Amino acid sequence: MQAQDEGGVIVNNSSVLGKVGFENASGYVAAKHGVLGLTKTAALENGETGVRINAVCPGFIETPLLEEGGITSDPAVREQIENAHAMNRLGTPEEIANAVVWLCSDDASFVTGEALGVEGGYLSQ
């Protein structure tokens, strides 16, 4: 992107767990915290190049990963995770995609180094 001198956008995928801790998920949490550190550092290093670098931080999203992990297949666990979000529900992949599209758009032209939470109020609890 820099070589073409046309700017550009990079959107990294982190997680709401990149902003907080979560019991029994230390490897995942550490990796997602690392993504946020990389995002912020890369934004600083590329700010003058026209390349914007941000991250999206989804809450718990209705995906096969949650099914395989037993979160959505166990009604009691699902309810507990849903209730951890202020909106009392899981997010959808489309909601995350919409945030990424916005970050890539000209409407976000002054946004860089941001960790955008798309987490249904998980961090507000």
To the query of whether residue 122 is one of the catalytic residues in this protein, the response is: no
Of the residues 2, 28, 67, 83, which is catalytic?
A: 28
Q: In what order do the strands lie in the sheet with 51-58?
A: 8-13, 51-58, 115-118
For residue 75, the tally of other CB atoms under 10 A from its CB is 8
Which long-range contacts (C-beta less than 8 Å, at least 24 apart) are formed by 4-8? 5/50, 6/50, 7/49, 7/50, 7/51, 7/52, 8/50, 8/51, 8/52
Give the catalytic positions in this structure. 28
